[in-house]
Amino acid sequence: MRLLLGGRVSGLLALTLLISSSASAAPPKRTNIEWIGPASCPRPASLESEIARLLGQEQVPSGPTRFEARVAELAPEGYQLDLVMRGSPHRGQRTVRLASCAEVEEAAALLIATALDPALALREDDAVSEPADVPRAAPRRRPSVSLGVRGLLDTRSLPDASGGIGAGLQLSFEHLWLWADARYFFPARARDTQLESETAIDLIAGALGVALTWSLGALSLGPALEAEAGMLRGKTSGVEQPERAQVLWVSGLGGALASYALHERVSVSLTMLGGAPFVRPRFALRDEEPFYATRAWTFRLALGVRVSLGSR
């Protein structure tokens, strides 16, 4: 319930009209709200609208205060929200522990709205609490969808080390990440010294991956697995009739990944995987002995950038 002193109503109305008329020539500024958190708890798209709803306004009012919401994932479950307020007239920090990301979003909106309008606390004083170490049960959160691109380095799948590119989609649950992408590795060359020929071999494939992650603030770490399937393609030169061939490629990979949130919707990742092909493709000219066969194991390094598209 909002409280207004009756003797000041007319003065406040006059002051409001004066401020509105003087500010009409300039577009309104938005309150600066920065959100830094793990992929399992990205910035909610409805944060500003929820703050405005709590304030009973159409949009978040402008002001000198800057809010910084830092979300950290707790073990074995739950989240910690550190809300830092900078600028006059509001300064300070609030820390709360909550069971789910949905509760973090609700708490952040309420804390910011209360800072902008302290009278809100009169009717919402019990809405945000600082619970004990054991969080209460929470509803299941919908996954976050993100789009990513990666630069790749492969050794031992092709005749020489080869670079590549990849792109795909990722679903991020609280601790489980799932992704699917397409990738291409640039040709590496294998030589047949007997026939004095050269074959350029490249790899085009698709992959499905899964990772279990734990977050330390903006940093997420965990083991990862991938299943990859595609085609090794070879083109021979240096012979009378250039030949082309392609063979099936299927492999399994395992290792670790690390991801760091640069922004509320942008993160970078590093993935290191090792594995082996289920079948070892070989290349040969007609009935000759094979001049190249894939190795028994392979190593992959990937550096990626991911942009969150929000929750689905």
CA-nearest of 142, 144, 210, 219 to 181 is 210
Structure tokens belonging to residue 248: 């099936």
161 neighbors 188 (Cβ within 8 angstroms): yes
Q: Which CATH architecture has domain 6-124?
A: 2-Layer Sandwich (3.30)
CA-nearest of 278, 287, 262, 270 to 151 is 270
Enumerate the domain spans of the chain.
6-124, 144-311
Q: Which amino acid is at 100?
A: S
The better pLDDT of the pair 247, 134 is held by 247
CA distance 181 to 271: 14
CA-nearest of 83, 40, 49, 44 to 65 is 83
Q: Which of 106-110, 167-171, 235-239, 268-272 has the lowest mean pLDDT?
A: 235-239
Q: How far is CA 220 from CA 15, 95, 171, 189, 267, in A?
A: 50, 21, 15, 37, 10
pLDDT at 87 over 80: no
Q: Which CATH architecture has domain 144-311?
A: Beta Barrel (2.40)
Residue-wise pLDDT for 12-66, tens only, equals 334 344 434 444 444 444 567 889 888 888 888 788 888 888 888 777 777 777 8
First and final CA of the chain: distance in angstroms? 35
Which pLDDT does position 198 carry in this prediction?
82
Which pLDDT does position 221 carry in this prediction?
94
Which pLDDT does position 285 carry in this prediction?
53
Structure tokens belonging to residue 203: 């790899």
Average pLDDT over residues 190-217: 86
Beta bridge partners of 210: 178, 225
| Percent of the chain clearing pLDDT 70 (strictly above) | 75
Average pLDDT over residues 195-208: 87
Q: Which residue has the tokens 């061939």?
A: 245
